[in-house]
Structure 1
């Protein structure tokens, strides 16, 4: 259950109300977006995620982008975001908890995990591996998206944003990360 009280859509005003109406007309209202619309500036800042996603998808492809976002979200333990990417992996025909990765997808998974676990200790060897597939400009896009994804994870987890109804049947597929259990 969300930790904050939400205004109802009919209580939104100004730019937030206009943004809600646009989302509603397109069938794109989610619990996260409704929470963010409580402050239009926050909503606008986080909607930059979609621009970062578009750049990432153009850079690495849909499958690799989905694997990377799933890696960041599951390592960070964000139930809501993890379920979105579990849904997306299933739509790609993948078992979210058991799928084969290519070499570059494996590197992206490792980078996603490291961005969450300790971004100050990303091994040089990981960057050397990434450079086999991506330019520095492309690596900037990948890391930029990873940071945006982590911020989105943190927003949803800290506020306890409710899982969207369409994702509830997938909850059993979410395997919470356990790496933090050993941190003192």
Structure 2
């Protein structure tokens, strides 16, 4: 049970309802973390801007961004975010076998060298203390430009915030992502 109860959509003003509607359009369900965050409207508004900036079309494919989000969430130990990001990856067309094999990425044939470099970064950045090395960046630079690396670090950083938020608040997982990744996320 969430440590702070989510507000209901009817408790929100029109501007916050529009933000939550945008979240539902993006995610396929109304996220409980947003309904909790709505208790501090400025925070929810700022988060929407960050989410839009992180996921706007860029030069990193959306599927890779979703896998990086999944690895960050999984390595951080936030089951709420792990379910959300796994569900999000499936929604944008990432092969469910990749989602299921996320921790096998270093050797699994479904993952290419660029994905491995990005997932190494996500895993190492999610560790406390941060375990990213110069070697991680050397591997990234074989596949990504500085702009693309910034896009990847943006995803990792967004989920650094969200994993802390949701794990701390014990946010209740919604049925859609829970059902959507059942059997895929361990």
2:6–2:32 CA contact under 8 A, matched in 1: no
Partner of 2:35: 34
Partner of 1:173: 184
In the alignment, structure 1 segments of 5+ residues that lack a partner are 176-184
Provide, for residues 19-59 of structure 1, a one-character-per-residue CA deviation record: whole Å limited to 9, x for no partner. Answer: 34x4499575321221221211110122112321225xx22
1:16–1:38 CA contact under 8 A, matched in 2: no
2:19–2:45 CA contact under 8 A, matched in 1: no
Q: CA deviation at 1:71?
A: 0.7
In the alignment, structure 2 segments of 5+ residues that lack a partner are 102-107
Aligned residues: 172
Partner of 1:106: 116
Q: TM-score normalised to the size of structure 2?
A: 0.79
Report the RMSD for the aligned CA atoms in angstroms. 2.4
Partner of 2:140: 130
Q: CA deviation at 1:12?
A: 2.4
1:15–1:40 CA contact under 8 A, matched in 2: no
Larger Rg computed on CA atoms:
1
Measured in 2, the distance between the counterparts of 1:147 and 1:23 equals 21
2:65–2:155 CA contact under 8 A, matched in 1: no
Q: CA deviation at 1:126?
A: 1.0
Q: TM-score normalised to the size of structure 1?
A: 0.80
